[in-house]
Chain A
Amino acid sequence: MEQKQLKRVDLIFEWDEKNTPIQVLDKTLQKTPDAIILEMIDSGLKGRGGAGFPTGLKWKFTRNEDSEVKYVICNADEGEPGTFKDREILDRVPEKIFTGMAICAYVIGAKEGYIYLRAEYNFLLKSLQQKLDKFNQQLKERQIDFSIYLRSGSGAYVCGEESALFESMEGKRGEPRNKPPYPTVAGYNSKPTVINNVETLVYTCEICRMGAEKFKALGTSDSRGSKVFSVSGDTTKPGIYELELGMPLKDFIDEFGDDDAKAVQVGGASGHCVPRKKFNDTIIGFEGIPTGGSMMIFNSSRSMYNVLHDYLEFFTEESCGQCTPCRVGCQQLLKGIEAVKKGERPPTYLEDLKKLTLTMKIAAKCGLGQSVANPFISIVDNFKEEIIY
């Protein structure tokens, strides 16, 4: 498998005085929308929120929809436990996000853009609004018929799911919708909508600045470019790091671990748990374990039962509650491992619960319920003793 060594990259937060975001916008709008889409597809950029849908295709599908009204939405509902990179991006380089949105709006033909900011980040609202006013003014001066508005969430994890986010923006209860239709056909207000993660939008801006070739030079064939990681847990240097995609987890742990790491939860609560013995053969990227950026390191002092219990408590509470597999399934998993721990159910009950998570994976309505299998199976399989005894 193609591998890269751990390499720090500085694209996201870099400030190129010769190519400020607004200059990138001016330069990019010289091109045709189709040319920009081709460049995005060529760059291999995949969504950085976790699901990894090719950004260029998303823009293309939305552009191809026949509708007077379309929207660009920046998903800044960064709710995955262990993820805090979007906050930093929103704080330090929001102009790059705005520019990415404006480019997208030009490509698909949208007149309105929204940033859906998670409620916990409301402390950013004031400064963000000031910078946004300035950017909107710059768009106006250029006679670009596009404006960006801020919307604040209300604190539900599930509203990071794109269709629940639309519902929330429309003033309804944040519950995921049935798909199809997908957002590119019927998103916010049932109009064609591009919804991209904060980081993805910044990379679109960067690709327009430096060209697809330079971006492609980073990462592997499946995982082009770099990614911002949120490193937390038992680490000597917690924080935000932009790294080239495609590195083995071993390299990552050598760099960030405390020499006692027994497991890494890659991709937050809904991601996978990788035990020490698999550090060598685990690639961080779409060919291995994809991640929205959360890397939680656990050393030998941690109980993996407690880790799993915490995650399951989180999902039990944060499920929107509308679909059966997720609403009841999460509760059963939580009560189930408690029962096994207490000896009220035999250890083999864990196998029944694993089967249940497989049903949740294919029968739940949205990504929340579908992904509970990831932490459950990876923790139970790798740390069965800790769960049982």
Chain B
Amino acid sequence: MSKYMVNLKINNIPIAVEEGTTILDAAKRLNFHIPTLCNHPDLSVAGNCRVCVVEVKGARLLAASCATPVSEGMEVFTNSEKVRIARKHVVELLLSEHNADCTKCFKNGHCELQELASEYRYGDHIFIDLVPFKHKYLDISSPSITKDTSKCIRCQRCVRTCAELQAVSALAVVHKGNHQTISTFMDKPMNDVVCTNCGQCINRCPTGALYERNYIEDVWNAIYNPNKFVVVQTAPATRVAVGEDLGLEPGHRVTGKMVAALKKMGFNKVLDTDFTADLTIMEEGTELLTRLKKALVDKDETVKLPMMTSCSPGWIKFQEHMFPDLLPNLSTCKSPQQMFGSLAKTYYADKINIKAENMIVVSIMPCTAKKFECNRPEMRDSGFKDVDYVLTTRELAMMIKQAGIEFDKLEDQHYDSILGESTGAAVIFGATGGVMEAALRTAYEIVTGKEVPFANLEIKPVRGMDGVKEASIKIKGAKPEWSFLEGVEMNVAVAHGLTNAKILMEAVESGKTNYHFIEIMGCPGGCIGGGGQPIPTSPEIRRKRAEAIYEEDAGMPIRKSHENPEVVEVYKDYLGHPCGHQSHELLHTHYVERKRY
């Protein structure tokens, strides 16, 4: 259906826009800013906060500009007397039910309501404070997500995020009228419901009603403790995003500055999760090939295909709740974070002569689910808690500011060695399709001895922001030990965001697919869009971060995991071979079935 143009006037200025455009978007094109709260570029239109109301000539009611399409001859006023009075009322009403302890709030300075309040400077708070009469409730049950109902302004962004992007609906609207609130099933604590800890709700909450459980003080205490040797690892996606919270534009790569800042902050060693991302490829790639052999040659029916990646802890918990029958399909590999933890407190501790009980492992992650993951009882294979504290990218930025470091003036520094070397294959773990691409680069070469047949090693079909991506690679010239794979068409699929994961899982359950390997990342865009990344987020911002990730890959001297010299070393020195006994002890795990309610 072809769209035709609609003519209208906004604040007396004529403009023609495509049919179906909202008043809000039309006004944006004329550089008229209309404030919004419940609106978000990733979500469906709600039109419920009413901050964005505008006057339409001849209409009895003000129109919510986010929810009202333009019409021919419409005359809109975005700042008329009626609009200003209504907007002032709406903001004041929101403030009256909001627990405005801004100076104590974790979101202080990052709160959209605060921004709006400071923009309008309403001095005469006329309305009665409703917060004291309310059911005030701080939920700190989850190791990942803190929920403070007293800060909630009922915009329902979190509810839409959880339902639309993640297909989880752990958060929902309950009750009505003055009792209406956002809650969980039967008002249970966050840790007791289907919440996957993905943190996407945090990324979209305009206020401090949802934020990560923060461990900043614990980490500072560890750093200051002379008896502790504090090791920090940084995930691939943090290096293209942390700059956003430190005054830089989205898409800036700040790897070297981030390393320098961590060293200045006093961490004893600054190491890289990318190292264990490469290790994951070795383990997961080998596991895949072993599964294929068992299924295709040995006809072992207990072996489940397609194999699915296990790097994303939000995705893992989703699968444990929603598709427990498919748990055997999950790779048994731990996530790179947890591989790092168990290796750090065994192999690495030995190497540098530090007692594991004196070592603290801190992770900088784009993720809130990692906070839950490091607390899983399975994650103690070193004999200790493998990873002690997980900080989000946002928490890291806060600590850098607290330390008084002028981030943009820092000289680039390198990760410490060992456990600091990585490849381009590891970096792209941060974007959707990255694990798949890295795995194929290695697996194809193991089987054929040749590089994947894609220009510049870039496997374009698995890149990009399509919700579900598919690709096939035909194996040609397999080595003798892999001859059963000769001519086999390897079918792979990639999904990001749990709604897309659900679509893919339902397809797998239907039995109509013939995939061998599936990559799932719990968050939209993969880790670059993780629940611990700087706020705001949007498709545009995630696209820029992904571009930065691929730039980083292209600029790396080594771009295949199996060529990482430290990885080669760790197998020779300690682990033996991929999926060997020692690997199984330290680098692999198992999953548990969880109930939905």
Contacts and interface: CB of A to CB of B under 8 A. Distances in A.
B177 A330 contact: yes
Interface string A354-367: 01101100111100
B126 interface: yes
Contact of B85 (A319, A355, A365): A355
Interface stretch (B45-53, B340-348, B448-456, B478-486): B45-53
B176 A332 contact: no
B62 interface: yes
Nearest to A336: B128
Interface stretch (A3-11, A142-150, A211-219, A320-328): A320-328
Nearest to B46: A322
A180 interface: yes
A315 B176 CA distance: 10
A331 B178 contact: yes
Nearest to A158: B176
B93 A339 contact: no
B425 to A, nearest CB: 45
A328 B97 contact: yes
Contacts of B90: 324-325, 359, 363
A156 B86 CA distance: 27
Nearest to A334: B178
Given A320-B180, A335-B130, A359 B47 contact: no
Most buried by B among A175, A319, A320, A323: A323
9 contacts: A321-B154, A322-B46, A322-B48, A322-B154, A324-B51, A324-B90, A330-B178, A352-B126, A355-B89
Given A178-B64, A319-B176, A362-B86, A332 B49 contact: no
A323 B177 CA distance: 10
Contact of A178 (B47, B127, B178): B47
Nearest to A329: B93
A323 B50 contact: yes
Contacts of A175: 173
A358 B180 CA distance: 23
A321 B61 contact: no
Nearest to B173: A173
B67 interface: yes
A318 interface: yes
Chain B contact residues: over half helix, strand or loop, or mixed? loop
Given A324-B48, A362-B86, A319 B96 contact: no
A318 to B, nearest CB: 6
B175 interface: yes
A328 B155 CA distance: 13
B189 interface: no
Contacts of A349: 126
Interface in B95-154: 96-97, 126-128, 130, 133, 153-154
Contacts of A365: 47-48, 50, 64
A318 B177 contact: yes
A339 B129 CA distance: 12
Most buried by B among A173, A317, A324: A324
B68 interface: yes
A363 B53 contact: yes
Nearest to A345: B128
B57 interface: no
B351 interface: no
Contacts of B82: 362
Nearest to A339: B128
A365 B97 CA distance: 19
Given A178-B47, A318-B176, A352-B126, A363 B61 contact: yes
Most buried by B among A318, A328, A330, A349: A328
Nearest to A321: B180
A64 B218 CA distance: 67
Interface in A262-317: 315-317
Interface in B49-94: 49-51, 53, 60-62, 64, 67-69, 82, 85-86, 89-90, 93-94
A374 to B, nearest CB: 14
Contacts of B48: 322-324, 365
A349 B124 CA distance: 13
Contacts of A173: 173
A370 interface: yes
Contacts of B50: 323-325, 363-365
